[in-house]
A and B are shown apart, each in its own frame.
Chain A
Amino acid sequence: MIEVSNLRKYFGSVKAVDGVSFRAEDGKITGLLGPNGAGKSTTLRILYTAFRPDAGTALIDNLDVTIDKLAVRSSIGVLTHGAGIYERLTAYENIRYFGELHGMSGKELKMRIGELAELLEMNDFIERRAKGFSQGQKTKVALARALVHNPKNVLLDEPTNGLDIMATRGLREVIQRLKGAGHCVLFSSHVMQEVAALCDEIVIIANGTVAASGSPEQLRADTGQTNLEDAFVKAIGSEEGLI
Chain B
Amino acid sequence: MHTRKISHLSSLWIILRKEVVDNARDRRTLTTMAVSIVIFPLLMFGLIWFLDKTVKEETDLVNAPALKLPVVGAEYAPNLINWLTQNNIEVIKPPADPELSISKGEHRVILFIGADYPESFRNGTTAPLRLIHDSSITGLEKIGFNMVQGAIRAYSGQIASLRLTARGINPEAANPIRINLSDVASPHARSGQFLTMMPYLLIMFIMAGGMYLAIDTTAGEREKGSLEPLLTQPVKRHIVLLAKLGATIVFSSLTLLMVLAGLGLAFAYMPVDIISISVGIGKIATIFIACLPFVFAGCALMVLVASFTKSYKEAQSYLGMVMLIPTLPLMSLAFMSPEPSTSNMWVPALSQGIIIIETLKGETVALELIGLSMICSTILATALAWVAIKLYQRERILG
Which A residues are closer than 8 A to B by beta carbons?
Answer: 45, 48-52, 70-71, 73-76, 78, 80-89, 93, 97-98, 100-104, 129, 142, 145-146, 149-152
Contact = CB atoms under 8 A, between A and B. Distances in A.
Interface in B18-57: 18, 21-23, 25-26
- Which 10 A-B pairs give the minimum distances between C-beta atoms? A84-B225, A82-B225, A84-B226, A103-B6, A103-B4, A88-B25, A73-B234, A101-B233, A84-B224, A74-B234
B153 to A, nearest CB: 70
30 contacts: A48-B232, A50-B395, A50-B398, A70-B236, A71-B3, A73-B233, A73-B234, A74-B3, A80-B228, A80-B229, A82-B228, A83-B229, A84-B221, A84-B224, A84-B226, A84-B229, A85-B226, A86-B22, A86-B224, A89-B21, A98-B229, A101-B6, A101-B14, A102-B234, A103-B5, A103-B6, A104-B2, A129-B25, A146-B229, A150-B1
Contacts of B4: 102-104
Contacts of B191: none
How many residues of B sit at the interface, in one of the four size bands? 20 to 34
Contacts of B236: 70
Contacts of A48: 232
B2 A74 contact: yes
B229 A149 contact: no
Contacts of A88: 22-23, 25-26
B235 A101 contact: yes
Given A73-B235, A103-B5, A149-B2, 10 more contacts: A80-B225, A84-B225, A86-B18, A88-B25, A101-B15, A101-B233, A103-B10, A145-B229, A151-B2, A152-B1
B198 to A, nearest CB: 34
Nearest to B26: A88
Contact of B2 (A49, A73, A85, A102): A102
Contacts of B398: 45, 50
A93 B21 CA distance: 10
B362 to A, nearest CB: 43
B1 A98 contact: no
B232 A73 contact: yes
Nearest to A131: B25
Contacts, number: 97
B328 interface: no
* Residue of B2, B231, B398 ringed by the most chain A CB atoms within 10 A: B2
A49 to B, nearest CB: 7
* Residue of A75, A88, A150 ringed by the most chain B CB atoms within 10 A: A88
A98 to B, nearest CB: 6
* Residue of B3, B232, B236 ringed by the most chain A CB atoms within 10 A: B232
B232 A49 contact: yes
A66 to B, nearest CB: 12
A102 B1 CA distance: 11
Given A48-B232, A50-B228, A146-B229, A101 B11 contact: yes
A109 to B, nearest CB: 10
A97 B5 contact: no
B233 A98 contact: yes
* Residue of A82, A84, A89, A98 ringed by the most chain B CB atoms within 10 A: A84
A103 B8 CA distance: 11
Nearest to B223: A84
A151 B233 contact: no
Contacts of B232: 48-50, 73, 76, 78, 80
A152 B14 CA distance: 24
A97 B18 contact: yes
Contacts of A51: 395
B395 A52 contact: yes
B225 A150 contact: no
A83 B234 CA distance: 18
Contacts of A149: 2
A74 B233 CA distance: 7
A80 B399 CA distance: 14
Interface in B129-175: none
A100 B14 CA distance: 7
A150 B226 contact: no
Nearest to A104: B2
A74 B23 CA distance: 27
A88 B233 CA distance: 20
B229 A142 contact: yes
Interface string B236-261: 10000000000000000000000000
A101 B225 CA distance: 18
Contact of B3 (A75, A82, A101): A75
A85 B227 CA distance: 9
Nearest to B227: A84
Contacts of A98: 229, 233
Contacts of B26: 88
